Structure 1
């Protein structure tokens, strides 16, 4: 319609998508100050100017088994949203993370003549590569956070751009450990183990008991050890505190958020696989990665042969070799985790050798990601 303001629709799932979306939205507003922004987002995107038709928490579902339980509700939400978007006719639609929800939505909008972007690429390096072609049928443009992803899409004729990772922009090259400890009230330089059992209640229920016992075993070999745990929100804090009831783990400090400071302040990090592993690498801390998914999800993934990688954590994927221990599913036991963490505490040479590897990866991931992503979207709009 002549004289109509530019319309940009965005749909983000979970806190990580909300963070990506907020940075992108702020950059898009600088380029298109009169544009309208609407869709699904969390508090950061809403603060940046998104008219939220739904909150991103409605999409926060993980794992095959969990998705199956919520599938009817999610399908109803996607149908309603699709109709509303087709009526609104945005100039571009940007699906942010949540591929199980967004890719189907993008495909329908693309078929209706609406330009579509997917930000960021799902882990095509971990799952079957044929997904790249499927994603290309949904998205006119794929924005990638990691440099190894665009070549995979190129083999399938999909336009994909590496824009850098916003977290690499957010972390300094040399984090200030002393300042982080001061902010957290950790005085007298005690040994600190950062423990991050996940930001979802399902993750915490599966991993926190295992991590608690691993930390308890470590206190036997590391005198004065403080276990620092960030809670993503009030519900996570309640689950973490409940898990401690009856445990024999002492010297636990639970913080509301402050995950970045806790990692920087720590000597070693014990964490759930995922974005937290990337954050620990950017914080320049040795880590041990442990993860368990539900038994049903694990059986389905193995039965379907969906995994195409033997490396799960991002530091190992980006280094293309195992630079940090990762203990998955049946290997994720308190004894194995404690032994791997103790290896870092007891080997300063190994910790020192890890630092230049981290710094090299950090430099490759820096690219003013939000601005680069906005430029790519602007280029698509200009076509």
Structure 2
């Protein structure tokens, strides 16, 4: 880039996990290019990294086909307002982070206007709606992926796609400290710890807390000395869990813990976790997993009717390893009895746990390659090369 021209990037995150990635990327960009101007849709991590907030990330935090439809008009207005602000700033490039349903549409519109468009985090095309790949390729100049198998999916379509690693693996590169984690949880060293994770969105809590409360009742009977902990993303979700199933959770002796998910997973002998990014965190922390999920019924039936799902797995540990490393229980298979049986199987098979932890350590090293720095270098190299081609 010319030294006389300001380098202005718009960063757009769509949910809390994207805010974490965006914050990591923004700090790396600032280290490599201190005069960079950053603005966009942010959460607390991006704001603390110096990204100016135009809109808050909470404005985009909706999930599922039917849920998105309810918010569609508002999301269209937001995207229009954001597009106008980007063009009026004007931005050098757009860097969207995850949230593909919103972000890739925005990227496509601005790509047609001649703006450089970069997306961080490949959509799950290997599992869901693979037909998107050609359109994604036409909408972007650069795609940064978290997993090593993803770039090959896009190269036949002419898209520059690069594996940069996963920031979560960078954070967890040293591995779990179970002793310290159990001290944080104030749990006994001899008692099994079983973690219950309902998900990070309110809709997930609504669908999952009752199931976990019923499962906890069975777990308490089977393992009277176990420390049962429900790991929640904050006090608001803890209050919602109490509202939904407080008495049942109390009767089962479940402790509700907020903002200690990482310590809880590091301390746990096994976790029952809603499918999502947290399953990767649990895997990298070497915590044996039982993965479950219940979609809103209308969303599930529509996805099945339209044949939108192609992967045989939904959880990231299984997808990475390409075999059934952890059990997956979806929709009607996610019952208290089945989840109890899966937990019992883990607790009864120490050799299985040992092998699982070996796999986790291998993937922690493979994915931990300073993702933020790699992504920032790729972004700035792309912009530098385009500046030279225009000069």
- TM-score normalised by the shorter chain: which range applies? over 0.9
Kindly indicate whether the alpha-carbon contact (under 8 Å) linking 1:89 and 1:114 is maintained by their aligned counterparts in 2.
Answer: no
Give the alignment partner of residue 280 of structure 2, picking from 278, 281, 295. Answer: 278
Q: What is the aligned residue count?
A: 383
Once the two structures are overlaid, the 10-residue window that deviates more, 353-362 or 325-334, is: 353-362
Rounded to whole Å, the distance in 2 between the matches of 1:234 and 1:117 is 35
Secondary structure class of the residue paired with 1:327 = strand
Give, in angstroms, the shift of residue 20 of structure 1: 0.2
Contact 2:198 2:274 (C-alpha < 8 Å) held by counterparts: yes
Q: Deviations over 1:183-235 (max 9, x none)?
A: 22223432110111001110011011111111211111112111112221232
CA change 1:223–1:33 in 2 (3 A) is same
1:315 is displaced (CA, Å) by 0.3
- Is contact 1:166–1:370 with CA below 8 Å preserved after alignment? yes
Are the equivalent residues in 2 in contact too, given 1:118–1:141 (CA < 8 A)? yes
1:360 matched to which residue of 2? 362
Matching residue of 2:388: none
* Kept in 1: contact 2:182–2:188 (CA 8 A): yes
Spell out, residue by residue over 1:226-273, the C-alpha distance to the aligned partner (whole angstroms, 9 max, x if none).
111222123211111223333164322222211000000111011000
> Taking structure 1 as the reference length, what is the TM-score of the superposition?
0.97
Which ranges in structure 2 are unaligned for 5 or more consecutive residues?
A: 386-391
Moved more, 216-225 or 77-86: 216-225
How many Å apart are 1:110 and its aligned residue? 1.0
Give the 3-state SS of the residue equivalent to 1:52 in structure 2.
strand
Matched with 1:70 is: 71
* Closer/same/farther in 2, CA of residues 147 and 246 from structure 1, 3 Å limit: same
**Residue number in structure 1 paired with 2:326:** 324
Per-residue deviation, 1:173: 4.0
Cα distance in 2 for partners of 1:62, 1:182 equals 35
Per the alignment, residue 259 of structure 1 pairs with 261
Structure 2 equivalent of residue 167 of structure 1: 168
Q: How does 1:45-124 map to 2 (within 5 A)?
A: 45-124=46-125
Moved more, 323-332 or 235-244: 235-244
Alignment-derived partner of residue 211 in structure 1: 212
Q: Which residue of 1 aligns with 2:350?
A: 348
Larger mean CA deviation between 147-156 and 285-294 belongs to 147-156
Q: Which moved more, 1:86-95 or 1:356-365?
A: 356-365
The 5-angstrom pairing of residues 112-191 of structure 1 reads: 112-191=113-192
Match of 1:224 in 2: 225
Could you tell me how far apart the structure 2 residues matched to 1:139 and 1:97 are? Answer: 13
Q: Specify the SS of the correspondent of 2:41.
A: strand
| Contact kept in structure 1, 2:173 and 2:364, CA below 8 Å | no
Structure 1 residue matching 2:55: 3-state secondary structure: strand
- How far off its partner does 1:135 sit? 1.0
- Give RMSD over aligned pairs: 1.4
Query: In the aligned structure 2, how far is the partner of 1:110 from the partner of 1:88?
Result: 16
Between the aligned partners of 1:166 and 1:82, the Cα distance in structure 2 is 28
